[in-house]
Amino acid sequence: MLKAKLKLTREDGLHARPAALLVALIMKYPGLNVLLEKDGKEVNGRSLTAILTLQGEKGDVIGFTIDGESEDRFWEDLEKTIQGEVIQIEKT
Amino acid sequence: MKKLKGLSASPGYAIGPAFLLSQKDESPSLWEKGETALEILNEAKQKLGKELEKNVKETGKEGEIFFAHSLLLEDPEIWERVEAKIRAGSTLGGALEETRDEIVSLFESLRDERFKSRAEDVKDVMGRLVERLSESKKEDIPPAAIIVAEEILPSHILSLGRSNPKGFISEMGSPFAHSAIMARARGIPMITACRGISGVLKNGDMVILEGEKGEVIVRPSQRVLREYKRKIREKQMEEEEAFTKRFLPAITRSGRRIKVYANIGSREEIEEAREMGAEGIGIFRTEFLLFEEGKALNKEEHLEVYKKAGNTFYSLPVHIRLFDIGADKPLSFLQLPQEPNPALGLRGIRLLLRRREILLSQLEAIKEAHREYPNLSIILPMVSFVEEIKAIKKIAGDVSLGIMVETPACAILAPQMAELADFLSIGTNDLLQYTLAVDRAGKEVADLFNPRHPALWKLITMSIKGARRRGKEVGVCGEIAGEKAFIPRLVKMGVEHLSVSPRFIPIVKHIIRSLP
């Protein structure tokens, strides 16, 4: 199991577009459980609606819990996305 | 013949046969229960998934919406609920409807408008699924029809594109919904919140839709039909003539010249305004630059835009309105306090005086651009105290300073305000909202937002007189400045300029030329 805290650094936080791209990434790993947490509220990373209800804005810190098959590969993939243009997240 | 009223979502006239999209078809699949219901559901989801993939490919940039929809189709938050309800004995249709309502109300409880509006996506995806399950004996939609539905969703506008619809009318829905934006972009007239429309219509009934007024005429008489056909032809001819003369000044028959300026909110519109014959920029809504970018612009970026406007219009006036932001137009990077009544809260000049760093960075950019382009000036939003003008005057240097007349207080004190300000521009939308105490965006009171109210006109008169007594230029920049019904009256009352959206400039000039 992997745990990390990431800070949203883009203006559009976890709005529709970045949230959709994150969900699409998680969907590529069917054997993996990804949970996102903000202010004590924890949601399933495969659910776009649940992620949107977190209302992640720029500056918010999102906790990730990653559990299951190919955790490490997913983490690398996520980091690639992070460093790319899509969802800029900064580890805390 | 029957007349119904709704809200204008996309302007223009349309005439055509009605076609009712039924969204609540009685259908056997939706009554299924248990395992059968689950199987039918999965099959329908798979098919819809493929359709969405196709939509994504077909639509390019707009297709992002359908990409999000395809993710919703696999969203456990939604489908675990549906399945649980079916396992607990609910019908397929019932489970879908209940879940949709639950998820939608979940979104509606969110405070941020941009997150809130995503409820529309859930409605659209689940609606498409229900449509698919309704064993659609979909009759072919006749070409050039006026589509009538409970609610018009983005997928309707796309999927109906092939039958080339003339117009859209919905029972519910907001004129600010995504579907309305799509209709406007396609130039198709649309009316929303037209309650009772599907009850008075059947397929094939002739319908006239008047987009600007939000009016629908059902089964018009031959006389009315002829009249509207003539109106459409005349409007086209008038627009063509107006367009060819767009660069000529607008002078009334008695020789009074009325200047026609543009209201703009983006870099691109600077060029567009000039192309459409604007004689200046009446209002540059600079806060729209921020919404577009989603971040605070740095000084160089401001400067570049202001210089471009100054250069494009050169000797003609460009009124740069200071950011009109507040809790009603939230910006994520600003962290504004939540207010129970944002329209009456910290917005416009009030906010700027409280948050000096925002004010000063914008002002510095304007002052610097002004050194090169003296045609630039400042206009203040939401003034209600004389002191607000004084405060800006102290720091505005030699840039001339105008004010928006948007509150009754400002109109009533017009002579005092005009003593301090260099020019006045009457913003009739907010002035009407504050005079009537009617929310301009409120769905429930939309019918009360009536620009014919005599109180508004008294305040306009006071503003014009106040400005002219002090020898200051006065104009109107609200919606009514672009409306045929109001222009004659405004001109007669003595306004010196009208400021409208770039695309209305040719026709406004044309109307002025016909006045005595």
Q: Does residue B273 share a domain with residue B364?
A: yes
By the 10 Å C-beta count (0-12 exposed, 13-18 middle, 19+ buried), B498 is classed as buried
Q: Check if the beta carbon of residue B161 is closer than 8 Å to that of residue B185.
A: no
User: Is residue B94 situated within a structural domain?
Assistant: yes
Taking contacts as CB-CB distances below 8 angstroms, the residues of chain B near A13 are 332
Q: Confidence band (pLDDT; 50, 70, 90) for B294?
A: low
Q: Does residue B249 share a domain with residue B206?
A: no
Q: Check if the beta carbon of residue B148 is closer than 8 Å to that of residue B197.
A: yes
Judged by DSSP in three states, A11 sits in coil
Q: Does residue B183 share a domain with residue B44?
A: yes
- Output the DSSP codes for B64-123: HHHHHHHHHTT-HHHHHHHHHHHHTT--HHHHHHHHHHHHHHHHHT-SSHHHHTTHHHHH
- For A38-71, the pLDDT digits (tens) are 988 889 999 999 998 888 888 888 888 888 888 8
Partner B contacted by A17 (CB < 8 A)? yes
Q: Is A15 a catalytic residue?
A: yes
**Which DSSP category does B326 fall into?**
B
The helix (H) or strand (E) run that includes residue B420 is helix B414-420
pLDDT over 50 at B26, yes or no = no
- For B319-353, the pLDDT digits (tens) are 999 999 876 666 666 777 778 888 898 899 999 99
> What Rg, from alpha-carbon coordinates, does chain B have?
26
Counted domains in chain A: 1
Q: Check if the beta carbon of residue B259 is closer than 8 Å to that of residue B248.
A: no
What distance lies between CA B112 and its chain's CA centroid? Answer: 19
Judged by DSSP in three states, B320 sits in strand
Which among B74, B111, B122 has CB closest to A27?
B74
The full 3-state SS of B36-73, as one line of letters, equals HHHHHHHHHHHHHHHHHHHHHHHHHHHHHHHHHHHHHC
pLDDT over 90 at A76, yes or no = no
pLDDT over 60 at A86, yes or no = no
Q: Is B302 a catalytic residue?
A: no
How close, in Å, is residue A88 to chain B by CA atoms? 15
Q: Does residue B180 share a domain with residue B252?
A: no
Which among A27, A44, A49 has CB closest to B103?
A49
Partner B contacted by A76 (CB < 8 A)? no
CA–CA separation, B305 and B459 (whole Å): 34
Owning domain of residue B143: 2-218
User: Is residue B305 situated within a structural domain?
Assistant: yes
Owning domain of residue A86: 2-91
Q: Does residue B137 share a domain with residue B14?
A: yes
User: What pLDDT does B307 receive?
Assistant: 96
Q: Do A11 and B332 touch (CB under 8 A)?
A: yes
- Nearby residues of B468 by Cβ (< 8 Å), 6 or more positions away: B474, B494
The CATH number given to whatever domain includes residue A6 is 3.30.1340.10
CA–CA separation, B268 and B345 (whole Å): 31
CA–CA separation, B451 and A38 (whole Å): 46
Judged by DSSP in three states, B386 sits in helix
User: Is residue B368 situated within a structural domain?
Assistant: yes
Q: Do B64 and A17 touch (CB under 8 A)?
A: yes
- For B168-193, the pLDDT digits (tens) are 999 887 776 667 777 876 779 999 98
The CATH number given to whatever domain includes residue B188 is 3.50.30.10
Q: Do B67 and A20 touch (CB under 8 A)?
A: yes
Q: Do B115 and A52 touch (CB under 8 A)?
A: yes
Counted domains in chain B: 2
pLDDT over 80 at B465, yes or no = yes
User: Is residue B226 situated within a structural domain?
Assistant: no
CA–CA separation, B236 and B401 (whole Å): 39
Q: Does residue B274 share a domain with residue B185?
A: no
Q: Check if the beta carbon of residue B349 is closer than 8 Å to that of residue B386.
A: no
Q: Check if the beta carbon of residue B8 is closer than 8 Å to that of residue B212.
A: yes
pLDDT over 50 at B136, yes or no = no
Q: Does residue B311 share a domain with residue B194?
A: no
Inter-CA distances, B513 with A4, B142, B489, Å: 68, 42, 14
User: Is residue B234 situated within a structural domain?
Assistant: no
Q: Does residue B264 share a domain with residue B202?
A: no
Which residues are B18's β-sheet partners?
A: B146
Q: Does residue B254 share a domain with residue B206?
A: no
Interface confidence (ipTM) of the complex: 0.82
User: Is residue B345 situated within a structural domain?
Assistant: yes
Q: Does residue B397 share a domain with residue B256?
A: yes
Q: Does residue B434 share a domain with residue B390?
A: yes
pLDDT over 90 at B89, yes or no = no
Partner B contacted by A15 (CB < 8 A)? yes
Among candidate residues B405, B363, B400, the one with its CA nearest the CA of residue B384: B405
Q: Does residue B270 share a domain with residue B158?
A: no
Opening angle at CA A81, ends A78 and A86, nearest 5: 135
User: What pLDDT does B374 receive?
Assistant: 96
Phi, psi of B289 (to 5 degrees): -60, -35
Lateral strand order in the sheet of B215-218: B2-5, B215-218, B206-210, B13-21, B146-149, B167-170, B190-192, B7-10
Residues in chain B: 516
